[in-house]
């Protein structure tokens, strides 16, 4: 007769071995079927292109707030920067991003430069909420919806803002004149 002392303390009993084998076989079967599905699933997406640009973007003007002499502060006048014309047959939405491209040159001349930017249609109606481009935040992004159609062309405008200069003369690699880049893509 076997006693408690004769049984191995950490050994597996026959029932436990059978249960462990069933669990391992189940894991192998279900795991391989998930892996097979994951590795073999295919999705096909049909895409058609217009074959041309969906919009034209033209340079339309540049900001000018007069001669700067010494330290001064002022407000920015309304200035059109870009003209955006979507193709008549394009019915999707647009994402317009306006970048300040020379902030590194401007920071030597301005304590602050805050430009309020928005987009207007051909009738002068603002079509998006305004955004600020500053020396710290060098871009503004706007979503334009097709809605019931395009009322183009659209104009990207500086509609206000303020500045405060640090000095009156720009040195080498410095500038008082902001430069912009406009990118328009599908949204």
Per-residue tens of pLDDT for the chain, all 187 residues: 555 555 555 556 777 788 778 888 777 777 666 655 555 556 666 666 556 789 999 998 888 777 777 889 999 999 999 999 999 889 999 999 999 999 999 999 999 999 999 999 999 999 999 999 999 999 999 999 998 889 999 999 999 999 999 998 999 999 999 999 999 999 8
Number of folded domains that form the chain: 2
165 domain-assigned:
yes
- Looking at residue 61, its pLDDT comes to 85
Could you tell me if 149 and 72 lie in one domain? Answer: yes
- Looking at residue 40, its pLDDT comes to 57
- Looking at residue 2, its pLDDT comes to 58
Range of the domain at 18: 11-40
Tell me the CATH number at 73: 2.60.40
What is the pTM for the complete model shown?
Answer: 0.71
- Looking at residue 31, its pLDDT comes to 67
Could you tell me if 33 and 70 lie in one domain? Answer: no
- Looking at residue 4, its pLDDT comes to 58
CA neighbor of 147 nearest in space, from 90, 107, 70: 90
Please state, in angstroms and rounded to a whole number, the distance separating the CA atoms of residues 66 and 147. Answer: 39
Please state, in angstroms and rounded to a whole number, the distance separating the CA atoms of residues 163 and 69. Answer: 13
Helix (H) or strand (E) holding 94: strand 94-100
């Amino acid at each position: 007769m076997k006693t408690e002392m004769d049984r191995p303390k950490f050994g597996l009993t026959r029932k436990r071995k059978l249960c462990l084998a069933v669990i391992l076989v189940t894991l192998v079967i279900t795991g391989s079927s998930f892996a097979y599905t994951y590795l073999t699933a295919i999705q096909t997406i049909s895409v058609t292109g217009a074959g041309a640009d969906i919009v034209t973007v033209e340079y339309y003007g540049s900001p000018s707030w007069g001669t700067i002499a010494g330290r001064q502060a002022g407000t920015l006048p309304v200035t059109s920067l870009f003209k955006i014309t979507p193709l008549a047959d394009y019915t999707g939405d647009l994402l317009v991003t306006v970048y300040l491209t020379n902030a590194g040159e401007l920071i030597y001349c301005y304590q602050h430069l805050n430009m309020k930017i928005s987009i207007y249609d051909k009738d002068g109606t603002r079509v998006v909420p305004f955004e600020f481009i500053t020396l710290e935040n060098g871009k503004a992004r706007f979503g334009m919806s097709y809605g019931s159609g395009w009322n183009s062309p659209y104009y990207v405008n500086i509609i206000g803002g303020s500045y405060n200069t640090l000095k009156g003369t720009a040195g080498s690699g410095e500038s008082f004149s902001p430069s912009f880049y406009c990118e328009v893509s599908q949204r």
